Amino acid sequence: MSFPKSFLEELKNRTRVSDVVGRKVKLTRRGREFVGLSPFNNEKTPSFTVNDDKQFYHCFSTGEHGDAIKFLEKTENLSFLEAVERLASEAGMEMPRRDPQEAEREQKRTGLIDVMSAAQDYFRESLNRGKGAEARAYLARRGLSDATIENFGIGFAPDDRSGLKSYMMGRGFKIPQMVEGGLLISGEDIREPYDRFRNRVMFPIEDARGRVIAFGGRALDPNAKAKYMNSPETPLFHKGRLLYNLARARKPSYDQGSVVTVEGYMDVVALGQAGINNAVAPLGTALTEEQIGLLWRLAPEPILCFDGDKAGLRAAYRAVERVLPLLKPGHSLRFALLPEGQDPDDLVKSGGVEAMEEVLTAARPLSEIVWDKEVEAGTWDTPERKAQLKSKISAVIREIADPTVQDFYRDALGERLNKFLRPHQATGGRSNWRNERQNGGYQPKRAWNSGGNTKGGAPFRQPSTPQLKQSSLARGGDLGAGRREQLLILTLLNHPVLLESYCEDLAAVEIKDRMLDKIRNEIIDIAAVHAPLDREALRGHLDKRGLSDSARRLESGTALKSETFAWADANEQEAEEAWLHLLQWHQRAADLQMELKAAERALAEELTDENFARLTALKAELSGLSKL
């Protein structure tokens, strides 16, 4: 099967060769390249190089050379089709279907490249002619040198409805081509297509190969309806899949291991003139998943630079929401906030490039912005509000799809949250949010087990009432994580009075079942505004939130009937004892799962007797915990 050239180009643009090769070869970065031992022979001195900028690998000892597709073919014995399918799946791209008309469309796209190149000639020529005087004066006021204007290909679209059209027709291009390229406006109610860009300073938008595929125009008329205007979506241009100045910034970004994202064309141009050549900008939209992928191909932790006003903070928070599900080990974002009221151009002019570099150097990690976003959204001065904050941060952490990254965010934000909510109890160790129960920071009023003791926490005591002695908790019954979650929620549905003392504990506990988690969050929300909370008020709130059927299903399950403490006819002492025990049990199991993952990673990195013994002990404890 042959693939459209545009599809293969997009696939390669989304794929870092070093990521693909790095699964097979241990790579070390040296300048713009990575080096390692050749996978094609048993050499002892590294002769194998990878260049993400040029999208290839090369083995000096064997002469093997190719791109990411070729590497999979060579090292995993895949066919070309199989290699493309794998990389497309990893890049989130759909495989193209067989289409006999694709060759025709590819030829048309190639023709549109020529159309856009000719339009760029027109705009650049127009800037240097008599009609371009106002545009040249504007650029001079912005402090742009002739060299910068030339380097970025900046031009001018005269205030003429047919200037570009006449020029292009004189060079042999047809009106349908210009319409398809977004250069002319046409429609059923328009007798004659006319120039889209008029009386605007023009910024060419290039693809990853440096070819002009679209334009952005800045209005010279202060009364223009749109200050900035981009080309519409075309067969060549999809604004959510590209970054302004991508081709020009690629090499400096690789060289420096850093890329800076600013808000607009002029910011990029001003930084480029100041010597900061690794800047790019989205094209009039909030960052998309595809654009974040492009940034990660340039550098593992791109810096997003925003104005320091409220609009800038909102843009930063939107970026946080977009990137959380995409996070993966070694890849994140950093955030640089400019002084309020200044954009990069203003800052460079007032303080020089040093002032801008100082802001970039002080860029803050994503985790801090996540924290600020949640904490600054309210006042957390009561137990109920504190519980709500815990719930909100737990929900944010669950947005992270990668389990390893999620674990470390849970630790980092948990420790920070504990210090924020309980400064007098904060410790320098691991997060009390996850471990305070087994480290002594939290002691249930009454708890028990069937004669044993959890290795990581306070000893469980025998139940104090005859009814509880018959429950699964006391008899060593098999309660998996799912049943524990059900019992935790069911007990609170029937004994909401417990929330007066344990709302914060409910917020902190890990609940993986999505429906139970929704119920948990709604319980916390109503408890924050309705105290004391009774069963009727709680049921009414869940009904308003569309969760009453889910609550009824939980109560109608026969598997929980024997756990008498969870039902409404149990006395409050029974319910409290059992709920606290269950909470400690469930939290210890969650902590063990996290410790188990860490032990598995440690053993994979270093196969030692100590690491193996640690892993074995954790597995044994976790197995025993399922049947206390």
With respect to residue 320, please indicate whether it lies within any of the assigned structural domains.
yes
Q: pLDDT tens digits for 569-608?
A: 888 888 888 888 888 888 778 777 777 887 777 777 666 7
Q: pLDDT tens digits for 275-326?
A: 999 999 999 778 999 899 899 988 899 999 988 777 888 889 999 999 999 9
Closest CA to 219 of 149, 157, 160: 157
User: CB pairs under 8 A, 24+ apart, for 113-117?
Assistant: 113/211, 113/212, 113/213, 113/236, 114/173, 115/168, 115/173, 115/177, 115/178, 115/181, 115/183, 116/181, 116/183, 116/211, 116/212, 116/213, 116/214, 116/215, 116/236, 117/211, 117/212
Position 431 scores a pLDDT of 38
Total number of domains constituting the chain: 4
Vertex 481 angle, CA 480 and 486, to 5°:
100
Q: Both ends of the chain: CA-CA distance in Å?
A: 58
For 178, other C-beta atoms within 10 Å of its C-beta total: 24
With respect to residue 404, please indicate whether it lies within any of the assigned structural domains.
yes
- Residues 410-439, mean pLDDT to the nearest whole number: 59
- Residues 377-388, mean pLDDT to the nearest whole number: 86
Residues 442 and 553 in one domain: yes
- In the structure, what pLDDT confidence band is assigned to residue 101 with cuts at 50, 70 and 90? low
Closest CA to 596 of 382, 404, 311: 404
Residues 459 and 422 in one domain: yes
Closest CA to 477 of 553, 591, 558, 562: 562
Position 437 scores a pLDDT of 31
Q: Which two tokens stand for residue 607?
A: 């196969």
Residues 483 and 559 in one domain: yes
User: What is the DSSP annotation of 44-61?
Assistant: SS--EEEETTTTEEEETT
Phi-psi region of 243 (alpha: psi -120 to 50; beta: other; left: phi over 0): beta
Residues 116 and 82 in one domain: no
Residues 302 and 366 in one domain: yes
Q: Are 274 and 299 in contact (CB under 8 A)?
A: no
- In the structure, what pLDDT confidence band is assigned to residue 457 with cuts at 50, 70 and 90? very low
Query: Mapped to the 3 state alphabet, what secondary structure does 249-298 carry?
Result: HHHHHHHHCCCEECCCHHHHHHHHHCCCCCEEECCCCCCCHHHHHHHHHH
Of 46-60, 396-410, 452-466, which gets the smallest average pLDDT?
452-466
- H helices of 22-132, where? 68-76, 80-91, 102-127
Residue with tokens 């390669």: 12
Residue with tokens 């994580």: 481
The rounded distance, in Å, linking the Cα atoms of 365 and 370 is: 9
- Residues 164-189, mean pLDDT to the nearest whole number: 94
The rounded distance, in Å, linking the Cα atoms of 89 and 11 is: 10
Position 472 scores a pLDDT of 55
Of 239-243, 404-408, 519-523, 552-556, which gets the smallest average pLDDT?
552-556
| Max Cα–Cα distance, the chain, nearest Å | 98
With respect to residue 96, please indicate whether it lies within any of the assigned structural domains.
no
Q: Helix %, strand %, coil % for the chain, to 5?
A: 55, 10, 35
The rounded distance, in Å, linking the Cα atoms of 57 and 72 is: 12
- H helices of 495-513, where? 499-508
Q: What is the mean pLDDT of the chain?
A: 83
Q: Which two tokens stand for residue 497?
A: 């009075």
- Residues 443-466, mean pLDDT to the nearest whole number: 39
Phi-psi region of 29 (alpha: psi -120 to 50; beta: other; left: phi over 0): beta
Domain boundary, last residue among 208, 237, 266: 237
Closest CA to 157 of 224, 234, 244: 224
Closest CA to 9 of 163, 236, 215, 281: 236
Residues 183 and 279 in one domain: no
With respect to residue 484, please indicate whether it lies within any of the assigned structural domains.
yes
Q: Is the pLDDT of residue 399 over 90?
A: yes
Q: What are the C-alpha distances in Å from 355 to residues 261, 268, 348, 364?
A: 17, 16, 7, 16
Determine the 3-state secondary structure of 35 from DSSP: strand
Residues 612 and 471 in one domain: yes
Residues 546 and 456 in one domain: yes
Residues 389 and 466 in one domain: yes
Q: pLDDT tens digits for 14-50?
A: 899 999 999 999 999 887 789 999 998 888 889 899 9
Residues 232 and 247 in one domain: no
Domain boundary, last residue among 91, 111, 126: 91
Query: Mapped to the 3 state alphabet, what secondary structure does 368-392 carry?
Result: HHHHHHHHCCCCCCCHHHHHHHHHH
Position 103 scores a pLDDT of 65
- Residues 364-388, mean pLDDT to the nearest whole number: 89
Vertex 416 angle, CA 410 and 422, to 5°:
120
Q: Is the pLDDT of residue 104 over 60?
A: yes
Question: Residue 314's domain is classified under what CATH number?
Answer: 3.40.1360.10
Position 32 scores a pLDDT of 76
Position 430 scores a pLDDT of 34
Residues 72 and 14 in one domain: yes
Q: Is the pLDDT of residue 424 over 50?
A: no
Q: Which two tokens stand for residue 505?
A: 């504990």
Residue 48's domain comprises 5-91
Closest CA to 521 of 398, 615, 394: 394
Residues 184 and 263 in one domain: no
The rounded distance, in Å, linking the Cα atoms of 248 and 588 is: 52
Position 461 scores a pLDDT of 42
Going edge to edge, which strands form the sheet with 155-157? Answer: 155-157, 200-206, 212-219, 228-230
Determine the 3-state secondary structure of 236 from DSSP: coil
Question: Residue 152's domain is classified under what CATH number?
Answer: 3.90.980.10
Of 188-202, 452-466, 590-604, which gets the smallest average pLDDT?
452-466
Domain boundary, last residue among 324, 339, 372: 372
CA pseudo-torsion sign 307, 308, 311, 317: positive
With respect to residue 97, please indicate whether it lies within any of the assigned structural domains.
no
- Residues 199-215, mean pLDDT to the nearest whole number: 95
Q: Are 250 and 270 in contact (CB under 8 A)?
A: no
Q: Which two tokens stand for residue 297?
A: 């191909």
Kindly report the length of the chain: 628
With respect to residue 531, please indicate whether it lies within any of the assigned structural domains.
yes
The rounded distance, in Å, linking the Cα atoms of 207 and 292 is: 16
Position 456 scores a pLDDT of 39
Closest CA to 251 of 511, 33, 540: 33
Q: Is the pLDDT of residue 148 over 50?
A: yes
Position 471 scores a pLDDT of 56
The rounded distance, in Å, linking the Cα atoms of 589 and 567 is: 24
Q: pLDDT tens digits for 64-80?
A: 899 999 999 888 877 78
HSE of 515, CA atoms in CB hemisphere, 13 A: 12
Judge residue 253's burial from the number of C-beta atoms within 10 Å of its C-beta, 0-12 exposed, 13-18 middle, 19 or more buried: buried
Question: Residue 60's domain is classified under what CATH number?
Answer: 3.90.580.10
Q: Are 49 and 35 in contact (CB under 8 A)?
A: yes
| Preceding amide of 252 cis, omega within 30 | no
Distance of CA 139 to the CA centre of its chain: 36
- Percentage of the chain exceeding pLDDT 90: 39
